[in-house]
């Protein structure tokens, strides 16, 4: 088990942004590059896991995982995850899922014939919370990108979504976060914490994967 602590473990991992259509040519999106998620998918595979990667649109080459599924919208991602969630042991949600989608996307291109445009948005399902609420639930790992009070908000999400682990990072400042090659994480679980200092995202992914494996094994040894 030494080099491959996740041998035989079925992992479902979401990555990248989602795109929420306004009309056939436009969407609401976000700045997630998918880099952290793809690096983590690779690192978990390297530890022996059988990884299914469910990814929104990114510019990245597909990592060498057991299975990959490409989706566009949060609803597509939700459907792809829920169809497989009962058959996984570990669920890792790195995707930057849109919280809202246009209520009623137009069938044809919206014309600029008015002086303004008001969008009506509705909430998307919280994929991670829904997976964590399954019985039995897989071991669940979430991410939290915060601009301030990182530990408070991350621990709040850990409890509210009933997660086994959450990896939090500070965004919006000069350090870390979206569209960068490096990042730092504070990782929390119900009775513990580990800080992973600023480093290249691939190295960070390897350290986070090792920590996930450690916590997962501890859970399943009990």
Any binding-site annotation on 128?
Answer: yes
Binder among 157, 201, 206, 215 for ligand C5P (CB under 6 A): 157
Q: How far apart are CA 36 and CA 98, in angstroms?
A: 17
Strand partners, 28: 20
Question: Site residues for ligand C5P, window 53-82 (CB under 6 A)?
Answer: 74
Applying CB under 6 A, among 27, 143, 188, 216 the residue interacting with ligand C5P is 143
Does the protein bind ligand C5P through residue 93 (CB under 6 A)? yes
126 is in an annotated binding site: yes
* Contact status: 142 vs ligand C5P (CB under 6 A): yes
Determine if 91 is a binding residue for ligand C5P (CB under 6 A): no
Cα angle 93, 29, 200; round to 5: 50
Is 124 catalytic? The answer is: no
Residue owning tokens 């870390």: 176
34 sits near ligand C5P (criterion: CB under 6 A): no
Alpha helices in 18-149 (DSSP H): 35-46, 74-82, 127-132
Q: Is 92 left (phi over 0), alpha (psi -120 to 50) or beta?
A: beta
Establish if 140 lies at the interface with ligand C5P (CB under 6 A).
Answer: no
Catalytic residue among 30, 124, 183, 191: 30
Active site members: 30
């Amino acid at each position: 088990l030494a080099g491959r602590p996740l041998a035989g473990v079925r992992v479902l991992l979401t990555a990248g942004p989602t795109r929420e259509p306004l009309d056939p040519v436009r969407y609401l999106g976000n700045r997630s590059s998918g880099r952290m998620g793809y690096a983590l998918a690779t690192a978990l595979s390297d530890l022996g896991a059988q990884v299914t990667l469910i990814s929104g649109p990114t510019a990245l080459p597909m990592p060498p995982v057991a299975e990959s599924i490409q989706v566009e919208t949060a609803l597509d991602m939700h459907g792809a995850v829920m169809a497989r969630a009962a058959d996984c042991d570990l669920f890792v949600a790195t995707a930057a899922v849109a919280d809202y989608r246009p209520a009623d996307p137009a069938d044809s291109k919206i014309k600029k014939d008015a002086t303004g445009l008001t969008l009506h948005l509705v909430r998307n399902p919280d994929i991670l919370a829904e997976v964590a609420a399954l019985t039995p639930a897989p071991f669940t790992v979430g991410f939290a990108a915060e601009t301030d009070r990182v530990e408070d908000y991350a621990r709040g999400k850990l409890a509210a979504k009933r997660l086994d682990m959450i990896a939090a990072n500070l965004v919006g400042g000069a350090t870390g976060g979206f569209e960068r090659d490096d990042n730092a994480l504070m990782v929390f679980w119900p009775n513990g914490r580990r800080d992973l200092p600023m480093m290249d995202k691939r190295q960070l992914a390897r350290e986070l994967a090792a920590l996930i494996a450690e916590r997962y094994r501890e859970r399943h040894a009990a």
